[in-house]
Structure 1
């Protein structure tokens, strides 16, 4: 399958249309977002195959943020260029008809040539969902992280406070992270409880590889009482990943929103995951 992507100033000249899509998926069956040379199942590969059938020509997509194996998305954004002319409905309903049950296109929008799903994004938002109960859940086993030890949400929320703002997040960065800089700006980091569910809701200008899962691991260690509240700040200031504890499981992690400048006018959609939508009024 072709991976050719014309530059923005070439799109119109080549007679291409740039299209953006909203995509949601359950990541449990996939090796992650990114298409791999080995051909193992990935979200990108499944989406490109479905779109190529609708377009009757090869389609290659660019996403806002690559997710790891087992990680889910409710608000992934992608773009692609095509010469195919199809009704708007075809790019949504037609593509969904070709997709497996655990991937869905939620909206489409024809975009100007200078739109880029990754590089034009101004912020990204993730939610990490923990099921906190002594008994392992029979449902949502691959969609939440189960923690059997009682977690103190107030301690977790207090520990999160020093992490807000612009910092060097090297201690929360995976060793294989390819980001040019470990400095990121955390706009909010909220910990809330809804029955047996604890939700870590985090928004930033960008994220490092495994950053949210490492944040979740630190906060859960504090919530369980294994570490003091001050430990989150100490890990941050130490800038050493080896001091940052265990990387939390991918199951409970969701990319829920990608933000862009207002002139692009991308469609809005409720924040997920679906089983948490009843808490939207409380979570904001």
Structure 2
């Protein structure tokens, strides 16, 4: 049995998220598994580094799957890119150790969130940025983001329903920069809860708008109450940017 790792780029605009669902075929996981199953003649199930929601994109999603079929990595990559929808691309395929698990072996992840600002919206980036028609105080947002750094209970910044799941995560770094009319926010942590990045972004936007003080971030974290944080930012600005594994990054 061979263990194959894929690195995948996709535009999530028209899909109901990553995860295969029983009531629709319109998920990225379903599209990939369908092509792999046809290629191998086996019932293929892929394991992803994490799930992305409807409308969220990925620059480097990582998955692995098991197969008995003897096919070269190049053939697997090229076959998938021939038959997958054009908004899903296999960037790399390689055979890895049998113990490799795309989800459990992931050490950390980076997510990118993009915001477009100014009086005039963008026609070409509308599916990949969140448009805000007014000025944001970047320096205040940078100061506020510093309160996220470290190991905290991020329950207030999550839509997780289960009370059994730990909501403690560690954020290593947050970088916020402007490039013309675009604001790019990069989040690096050992893991992220459901909607965590988008709620953090929504709260930081409120700081940038002058609706909150930067120091409120620490207060919100300590309350552990979701209602005290800001809104969940729209999905289209979010990208799974990078997944890191022991001794390598993808």
With the length of structure 1 as denominator, give the TM-score of the two structures. Answer: 0.85
Question: How far apart are residue 58 of structure 1 and its match?
Answer: 2.0
- Residues 1:238 and 1:206: Cα distance change in structure 2 (over 3 Å): same
Measure, in 1, the Cα distance between the counterparts of 2:113 and 2:36. 30
Answer yes or no: is 1:186 the counterpart of 2:171. yes
* TM-aligned CA deviation for residue 176 of structure 1: 3.3
Alignment of 1:237-256 (within 5 A): 237-256=222-241
Report the RMSD for the aligned CA atoms in angstroms: 1.3
Q: CA deviation at 1:39?
A: 2.2
Cα distance between partner residues in 2 of 1:47 and 1:83: 18
Alignment of 1:35 onto 2:23: no
1:65 aligned residue: 50
* Structure 2: distance between partners of 1:58 and 1:33: 18
Unaligned 5+ runs, structure 2: none
Instruction: Tell me by how many angstroms 1:132 deviates.
Output: 1.1
User: Is 1:135–2:135 an aligned residue pair?
Assistant: no
2:110 pairs with one of 110, 118, 125: 125
**Equivalent residues in 2 for 1:89-238 (5 A)?**
89-176=74-161, 180-238=165-223
**1:25/1:234 CA distance change after superposition, 3 Å:** same
- Residues 88 and 179 of structure 1, relative CA distance in 2, 3 Å threshold: farther
Do the aligned partners of 2:154 and 2:221 also contact (CA within 8 Å) in 1? yes
For normalisation by structure 2, the TM-score amounts to 0.96
Alpha-carbon deviation of 1:141? 1.1
- 1:178 Cα shift? 7.6
Deviation at 1:25, TM superposition (A): 0.3
Higher relative contact order (CA 8 A, sep 6+): 2
Query: Going by fraction, where is strand more abundant, 1 or 2?
Result: 2
CA distance in 1, matches of 2:104, 2:212: 38
SS at match of 2:20: coil
How far off is 1:153 after superposition? Answer: 0.8
Structure 1's 35 and 100: CA in aligned 2 closer, same or farther, altered over 3 A?
Answer: same
What is the CA–CA distance in structure 2 between the aligned matches of 1:30 and 1:150, rounded to whole Å?
A: 31
CA contact (8 A) 2:16 2:53 kept: yes
Report if aligned partners of 2:141, 2:204 keep a CA contact under 8 Å in 1: yes
Q: Does 2:31 correspond to 1:46?
A: yes
In the alignment, which residue of structure 2 is the partner of 1:80? Answer: 65
- 1:56 Cα deviation (Å)? 2.5
Separation of aligned partners in 2, 1:61 and 1:125: 21
Shift of 1:52: 1.6
1:7 aligned partner: none
Residue 179 to residue 116, structure 1, CA distance change in 2 (3 Å): farther
- Cα deviation, 1:223-249, whole Å, max 9, x if unaligned, reads 011111212222112111011121100
Give the total of aligned pairs: 250
User: 8 Å contact 2:200–2:230 — kept in the other structure?
Assistant: no
List structure 1 runs of 4+ shifted beyond 2 angstroms: 175-179
Change (3 A) 1:177 1:221: farther
Alignment check: 8 A CA contact 2:3 2:98 kept: yes
| Alpha-carbon displacement from aligned partner over 1:25-77 (angstroms, at most 9, x marks no partner) | 00011100000011240000001111122213221100001000000000100
